Structure 1
Amino acid sequence: MTQRFAGAKWTIAAALSMACFGAIAGEQVVRIGLTGPLTGPQAATGKDDENGVRMAIERLNAEGVVIGGQKTRFELISQDDAADPRTGMTVAQSLVDADVKVIFGPFNSGVAIPISSLVNGSGIVMATVASNPSITQHGYPFVFRISASDTQLGAAMGMFAANQLKLKRIAVIDDRTAYGQGLADEFINAAKANGLEIVDREYTTDKATDFVSILTHVKGANAEAIFYGGYYAQAASLRKQMKRLAMNGYLLGGDAMCNAELAKLGGDAVDSRVYCPQGGPVLDRTREGRQFKADYKRRFNAEPLTYSAALYDGVNLVAQAMQKVNSIEPSKYRAALASIDSRGVSGHYQFDNNRDLTDSPITIYNYRNGEPTPLTGAQP
């Protein structure tokens, strides 16, 4: 059951009505919330996240999960936060009001940071793939991160730039979002620690399309490469404009530009000199990953992008925690989730005291024939 924010009232009413029907039929209903950018320039990743959650729910319902002695049916309430913090707060409140037992997302750190307090205060588990380190540093016991953080991603790219690409001079641009700026800061820390000189630091926005002025300044600084902290839509325009200005150096970035959509938007400009990281193992290199990709393509007629596998795993982790304590209530299963030790499609899931993953290997990709391709060895 997927509705956008404009239909939130209908969605909640329908969900409550269906829950009543389920109770009459002798089964309990677990409403699972998802918030993400389902429209706008980041819609491809938002839908990919939603697809991962949907696949897991469909599998659990087909298996006939029993929790606390009752047959349990999972339902998805998916809401569009448009990658906007203010919309995200309204969406989060609507999911809380719908009595969801977990909220997956947001994708954007700028949305995750403000809603984490609301969701935690409501006693609902939040499992996010947003990467800004501060999300899990407030001591909120109900807030979990099920993917790598900027600390891990930025550090990996800083070491890769210095140790593998052997760069000496690099410029940094970020889009001033919580995600982009946090990622760029972590990259700079690692780059400097590994001997790189930051020759220019520039800023843009996550709505920008014209980067010529910034690139002209960067070109004058004689940078060998640019690190971009931001999302794939802007990264594609940035790369095309680099090429038009005969800037043939490297473009490096984070996980939010690390998917096939970058090449679709950037065309031939997105080549083997573009590098980005993803957390978790390469899906094609594991039996579980290959099966997930095949199932995803059969279900949605598309290839998975960045975090659908992690969100698929997240739903299964929550179901495992619920089964362990025989309760669907977050106040009961939260501790079981915090202590979980499980392997999924996207890696090994075990949380530290901040509810960040203790083990999130980073894979570096570049682009070949329009597809992000993992480097041999995969580590920075």
Structure 2
Amino acid sequence: MKKQVLLMAALSAAGLANAQETVRIGHVAAMTGPVAHFGKDSENGVRMAVEALNARGATIGGKKVKWVLVGEDDGGDPKQATAAAQKLADAKVNAVIGHETSGTTIPASKIYHDAGIPQISASTTSPKYTQQGFNTAFRVVANDIQLGHVLGRYAAKTMGVKRVAVIDDRTAYGQGLANEFSNGLRQQGVNVVAKEFTNDKATDFAAILTRVRAAKPDLVFFGGMNAVAGPMLRQMKQLGLNARMMGGDGICSDEMHKLSGGTMADGQVVCAEAGGVEAAGKAAIDKFRADYRKRYGIDVQIIAPYSYDATLLLAAAMDKAGSAEPAKYLPLLAKTQYKGVTGNIAFDNRGDIRDGAITLYTFKGGHRTEIAVTK
């Protein structure tokens, strides 16, 4: 009897020694609604990272762990975003990747901060996100100040535009980007001849485009997402407004061709992605894109490589701290430097990426085509 008890105790101890800790990575973005194609792209990147961590038996402080993706849908709506954030906070996830847009990320960030849960956004570009002073908030892409100024400089110096109309969708992302672009444009001495706004659910732009047409712009800048920009481009053609369009990463995917009803001409649209890989990193990002296509049967939209890197960065910080507990690894996350498929990642004292790259694109044959990577 004594031997049996000892044997059971030994087996129990061995089981505890081999027990795997579960590390839950929360992800939130729009899984439904007009910008769901970006949200699913982001979640796909996190899933690929989680699968890679499990496949290689990634440990934390030498201990076996099981990595799990916990996904939530915020529908691109700020109220739904805070509800999703509270759900993840209550579930005590170890970290969060998300949200997708500035309008959802900013209100959700306070919930994560209050819960002490680190949050990395792979796509949010509004400067306000990291200006709140939350030590839990990070991003792995450049912000709208950088993005807007690069676009303003490119419009003036390379495209040679003289008259620009600016339209935004009144969201935190769209309005913020439009304002920063206008600031960048003014620095180049170019006139903004018309300012209009719509909303992120709009489908009819006849009134504002008629006013814009009267101002005779050679470029229309749109601050917002491609779910609005595509139909707007189609209606520009219908109204005989033969101007080029420019925008940020919200319009910078191949979905623009479909959403414009096939009316987008080669070279008509110029956009910028907050992020980018210079020549030395092309092999790594090309491999990621090929792996993504093999895994999902579709091409990367925009966000997946950044959400992938954000997840692996979290894993590196946890391993360095020897713990997945937010309070223990958060200080190290702020100092961690990581070389990912999108390049080198390190944060400044606000949680913004240092020396964030920006990639300029146009479209040819309905497909996004790189122009240049700049900083």
Q: Matches of 1:195 and 1:233 in 2, distance apart? A: 31
Q: Matches of 2:18 and 2:230 in 1, distance apart? A: 51
Residues 37-73 of structure 1 show CA distances to partners (whole Å, capped at 9, x for unaligned) of 0001111000000000000000000011121332011
Partner SS, residue 278 of structure 1: strand
Match of 1:363 among 339, 352, 359: 359
Amino acid at match of 2:275: G
So what's the TM-score if we normalise by structure 1? 0.91
Does 1:276 pair with 2:267? no
Larger radius of gyration: 2
Give runs of aligned pairs for residues 87-236 of structure 1, distance below 5 A.
87-128=80-121, 129-236=123-230
Amino acid at match of 2:60: I
Q: Matches of 2:87 and 2:304 in 1, distance apart? A: 23
CA contact (8 A) 2:277 2:357 kept: no
Alignment-derived partner of residue 73 in structure 2? 80
Alignment-derived partner of residue 63 in structure 1? 56
Q: Matches of 2:86 and 2:60 in 1, distance apart? A: 27
Q: Matches of 2:347 and 2:264 in 1, distance apart? A: 35
CA contact (8 A) 1:297 1:303 kept: yes
Does 1:30 pair with 2:23? yes
- State the shift of 1:313 in Å: 0.2
Amino acid at match of 1:357: I
Amino acid at match of 2:322: N
So what's the TM-score if we normalise by structure 2? 0.93
CA contact (8 A) 2:61 2:320 kept: no
CA contact (8 A) 1:280 1:347 kept: no
Alignment-derived partner of residue 13 in structure 1? none
Does 1:332 pair with 2:325? no
Q: Matches of 2:29 and 2:276 in 1, distance apart? A: 23
- State the shift of 1:23 in Å: 7.3
Amino acid at match of 1:169: R
Amino acid at match of 2:149: A
Amino acid at match of 1:213: A
Match of 1:304 among 289, 300, 307: 300
Residues 227-263 of structure 1 show CA distances to partners (whole Å, capped at 9, x for unaligned) of 0000011000010111111212110011111011111
Q: Matches of 2:360 and 2:62 in 1, distance apart? A: 45
CA contact (8 A) 1:283 1:289 kept: no
Amino acid at match of 2:188: N
Q: How many matched pairs? A: 358
Q: Matches of 1:40 and 1:378 in 2, distance apart? A: 31
In angstroms, what is the RMSD of aligned CA positions?
1.6
Residues 16-46 of structure 1 show CA distances to partners (whole Å, capped at 9, x for unaligned) of xxxxxx9796000001101100001111000
Q: Matches of 2:278 and 2:28 in 1, distance apart? A: 24
Q: Matches of 1:209 and 1:228 in 2, distance apart? A: 14
* Identity percentage of aligned residues: 42
- State the shift of 1:201 in Å: 0.7
Q: Cα–Cα, structure 1 residues 190 and 282, in superposed 2: closer, same or farther, change >3 Å? A: same
CA contact (8 A) 1:348 1:359 kept: no
Q: Matches of 1:319 and 1:228 in 2, distance apart? A: 37
Partner SS, residue 268 of structure 1: coil
CA contact (8 A) 1:153 1:255 kept: no
CA contact (8 A) 2:125 2:274 kept: no
- State the shift of 1:334 in Å: 1.2
Unaligned runs of 5+ in 1: 1-21
Partner SS, residue 33 of structure 1: strand
- State the shift of 1:224 in Å: 1.1
